Structures are given as structure tokens and as C-alpha cells.
Copies of this chain bind each other. A is one copy, B any other.
Amino acid sequence: MEKINLDLILANLRASLEHNQVDAAIHLLESLRVPDRADLFSELDEKDQATLLPNLKPASSADILEELEDQEAAKLVRSLPTATAIRIVTEMEPDEAADLLGSIQPLQAETILAGLDDPDEVRPLLLHPEDTAGGLMTSEFLALRRRMTTTEALKAIHEWKPEIETIYYLFVVDRYEKLCGVVNLRQLIVSEPSTLMLDIMDPDVISVQAGTDQEEVARIMSRYDLVTLPVVNTNNVLLGVITIDDVIEVIEDEATEDIQRLGGAEPLELPYLDTSSLGVVRKRIGWLLLLFLTESLTGTVLRYFEDELQAVVALSFFIPLLIGTGGNAGSQTTSTLIRALAVGDIDLGDALRALWHELRVGLMLGFGMGIVAYGRALLWGTDAHLAITIALAIFTIVVWANGLGAVLPLFAARMKIDPTVVSGPVMSTLVDATGLFIYFTIARAIIGL
């Protein structure tokens, strides 16, 4: 229902723009909820976007730039006059502003930064890589003092910038700005007016260092059900606060990356339909070529067994079936282990347990598949020796693929490589060449070629 409305509004918006009714278009956009506004805006072509952005309220433009992908936002800002850009960036959340400024020309970024009312809110954030706790945090937070009373704390909240929504948990610092506790807004309300923060704060506060990877941040916030997470430096000085909405994006983006890598492609940086065909090709061709060259090992193996193939042409009928099943068994294992690693169900300390688990699974699956393959081969009228070869080969290949499928992601994790890169396609390709070798070696032994 909501979707249909948006499509309708988009049509109206486009009609207004076509007839140069910029005011009507702006009115329409301003009436929408922020994410919807950003969505429709990004559906417009660049010319219309460039027309609208300087005419919207700076706060609305800021909302839109915050919602857009960094690259899209950067492209728009590059086309804006500096004064307009400054007016808009001033309205952005410091962490979003820092991400944006990090994506444009350093010179333009410096000019905009210099024009901000409070550049020191944004500048320190530029120092942190975007995918760390420091890159996720906002520097706009309200820190309470240990010896503040409830009344003073509530007064500080009154006076604090009203648009900030994330003050349900307030962090308490000592005189050296070191983090020493957390109170929630609810405690402030229900406590006596003269209560000190010291007495109601929970000193057991979970925090992360600025350099912590964003995946680790997501894992901690999700595990401990945190809405906000304070970021500190090595001296435990409070630098900023990460809020849950930024982390949900991280969780979704990381899953997207994992899934695209599992499919054997580098993750796209923009939404799918916003990426040009050439852009998609660029993300895929590298892996496709690498896999092709690895896969061409299968040709080498087959040439090595040329005599056998010449003598018993029926051997070739089972090639795709055997290596396909090996690849499938391996992919099942790899994807399970990759996810178990990602969500923390297993860690490197469990490597041997996981391998042993998969080998047992492989033995059972291989046994079952071997029997089915034997039956299938006989049904095709294959001679008994060849049928036994197929059954033994599939058993061995499945066990081998399960073992390899368990070892590869664990090995990658050990080497600090993202385990998803060794998944799906890489897995199948490796199993293909080795599986053929297993198949023909068994064939040679049994059929006695």
C-alpha cells in the first residue's frame, strides 16, 4: 500500500518538475517522511536533483544527503555552490557529515569544514576509518558528571540541542573525561531530585575503542541488546557514541557483502539498479577470470587421463555429475561455517571440532549419495564395474568436499582473510579439479585401464 503511494507521488513529482513547478515539487518532497523523501529524490535524474537540492530547506537537504549512499551524496555536493553546501552540511549529524566530507575532494572538504559553525564537532571524526567504531560514532553527545544531581542532569537535557533523539542512555565521565558509568533517562525521572549520578549510575558500562571494527561493534550491540554504545580512546576518554540505527545498517550491509561474495563477486557500492552495467562487470570479471584459470586445471587433469577417456567414453558422462555433487556438498559446508563464524556460533578455537563434525556429516552424506549414484548408474545400463567406480568416487568426493569446505573458511579466518572469499564458486572450482583426479584414479584401479 505504502509502495503504491510512493509510486504515485513520484509520478506527481516528475510531472511537476517537467512543468517547471519547482515549488510544487518541493512542497511534495517536504511533506514526506525522511527515508521516503530520500528514496524519491534518488529516483530523479541528476539535473532535477541539482535543481531541487539548493531550494529545499537546508535541514531537508541534509536529511536527504544522510540517507543517500556516500558516493551519490558526494556527487551532488560537488555540484553545489560552496555557500549552499555549507548551509546543508551544517544541518547534518556530525558522523554523517564526516562520512560525506571524507568522500569528496580534500580541498572542497576543507573549505566546507572551515565554513561550519562548529568544525571541531566534525574534524576529529574525519580521522577514523569509516568502518570502525570511530567512523560510526557521533561526537554530538551529552556527558554527565559524577557529582551532578538528578535536577542538574535534567536541566542539562533541557538545554541540550533538542533534535537529538538518542539521549535515553546518558554516559557519566569523571573530571578527566574518562567514562565511568551509564544512567538512563528513566532513572533520572524516577530518582529523587538531589540524587547524585554517582549513586544511580551503572559503573559496569560496555564500551569499545575507536579502532574497533564495525562488525565487532554490531556483534556487541546485538549481543548485549544495546541502543547506544560509547566509544573511548586508549585512556578510556569518552570520544563519542554509536547509536543502534547506524548499526542496523552495518548488519545489513555486512550481510549483503557476504552474500555477494558467496556468489563469487565483489560487493557493489551502490544499490543494484544504480550501478552501471560496466560497474557490475568490473565487480565480477576479476573473480570470473580467476576462477576460469583455476578451473582450467580440470582440463589438465582430463588430458592426463586422455587414454582412459578414449578407451571408455562412458567415463565422461559422469564428469559433470560427480564434480557438481562435490561442489554442492562443499558449498553446503562452506556457507554453514561462514555464517557460524560471522554470527559467533563458532570461533577459531572450535576449528578441530567443526572439521570433525563435517567429516562425520560427509561420511553419512557420501554413503547415502554413493548408494543413490550406484542405482542411478545401473538404471542407465552402465556396467557394474563402472557403477561401482561411480559410487566409490562420489563417496570419496563428498567426504573430501566436506573436509575441504570446513578447512577453507577456517583457514581463511585464521589468515585474517574474509572467509566469504573462499566460498561457493571458489569451493566448487577447487573441488572440480581434485574431484576429477579422485574419480579417474579410482576408475584406473577398478576398471584396470
Seen from chain A, the residues whose Cβ lies within 8 Å of a Cβ on chain B are: 3, 7, 33-35, 154, 157-158, 162, 165, 167-168, 184-186, 189-190, 204, 221-225, 227, 244-245, 248-249, 251-252, 255-256, 258-260, 262-265, 268, 271-273, 277-278, 280-281, 284-285, 287-289, 291-293, 295-296, 298-299, 302-303, 306, 309-310, 313, 316-321, 323-325, 327-329, 331-340, 343, 345-347, 349-350, 353-354, 357, 360-361, 364-365, 368-369, 372-373, 376, 380, 423-425, 428-429, 432-433, 436
Within the complex, what minimum Cβ distance (angstroms) separates A330 from chain B?
A: 9
| Cross-interface CB contact of A320 among B224, B320, B334, cutoff 8 Å | B320
Contact B271 A361, beta carbon cutoff 8 Å: no
Identical subunits present: 2
- A contact patch SS: helix
Whether A298 pairs with B324 at a CB distance below 8 angstroms is yes
Q: Is the CB of B336 within 8 A of A292?
A: no
Given contacts A185-B168, A292-B325, is CB(A272)–CB(B319) below 8 Å?
no
Report the bound CA distance from A229 to B223 in whole Å: 21
User: Complex: how many Å from CA A264 to CA B337?
Assistant: 13
Q: Are B321 and A292 in contact (CB under 8 A)?
A: yes
> Once the chains are docked, how many angstroms separate the CA of A361 from the CA of B277?
5
Given the complex, which residues of B lie within 8 Å of A429, measured CB to CB? Answer: 324, 328
Q: Across the interface, do B372 and A224 meet the contact criterion of CB distance under 8 Å?
A: no
Closest B residue to A347 by beta carbon equals: B3
Q: 5 shortest A-B CB distances, which residue pairs? A: A263-B335, A255-B255, A298-B320, A272-B340, A225-B245
Task: List B contacts of A357 (CB < 8 A).
Answer: 272-273, 277, 280
A293: chain B residues within 8 A (beta carbon): 376
Query: Cβ of A299: which chain B residues have Cβ within 8 Å of it?
Result: 317-318, 320-321, 380
B289 touches A372 (CB 8 A): yes
Q: Are A158 and B272 in contact (CB under 8 A)?
A: no
User: In the assembly, what is the distance between CA of A291 and CA of B398, in Å?
Assistant: 14
A244-B248, A298-B320 known; 10 new pairs, CB 8 Å cut-off, are A35-B225, A158-B189, A252-B255, A263-B424, A273-B345, A284-B332, A288-B332, A292-B369, A302-B316, A332-B425
> In chain B, what residue has the closest Cβ to A420?
B259
Partner of A224, one of B33, B265, B327, B353: B33
**Measured CA separation A343–B258 after assembly (Å):** 14
Residue ID in chain B nearest A330 by CB atoms:
B263
Bound CA span A162–B184, Å? 12
Asked whether, in the complex, the Cβ of A291 is within 8 Å of the Cβ of B186, the reply is no
Contact residues in B for A154 (Cβ distance below 8 Å)? 189
A312 to chain B, nearest CB (A): 11
Assess the B162–A190 pair: CB atoms within 8 A: yes
Partner of A328, one of B256, B287, B328: B287
Compute how far the CA of A354 lies from the CA of B318 in the bound complex, rounded to whole angstroms: 35
Separation in Å of the A310 CB from the closest CB of chain B? 5
Measured CB to CB, the closest approach of chain B to A67, in angstroms, equals 10
Q: Are A280 and B361 in contact (CB under 8 A)?
A: yes
Most buried by B among A7, A273, A324: A324
Chain B residues positioned under 8 Å from A265 (CB to CB): 332, 335-336
Provide the bound-state CA to CA distance between A185 and B169, in Å: 12
Q: How far is the CB of A273 from chain B (nearest CB, A)?
A: 6
Closest to A311 in B: B313
Q: Is the CB of B264 within 8 A of A331?
A: yes
Q: Are B321 and A298 in contact (CB under 8 A)?
A: yes
- 28 examples of A-B residue contacts, CB within 8 angstroms: A35-B223, A158-B190, A168-B185, A168-B227, A227-B244, A255-B259, A255-B339, A263-B331, A263-B335, A264-B331, A268-B336, A271-B345, A272-B336, A278-B364, A287-B332, A288-B365, A293-B376, A299-B317, A299-B380, A302-B316, A302-B320, A310-B313, A320-B320, A324-B429, A324-B432, A327-B425, A327-B428, A328-B428
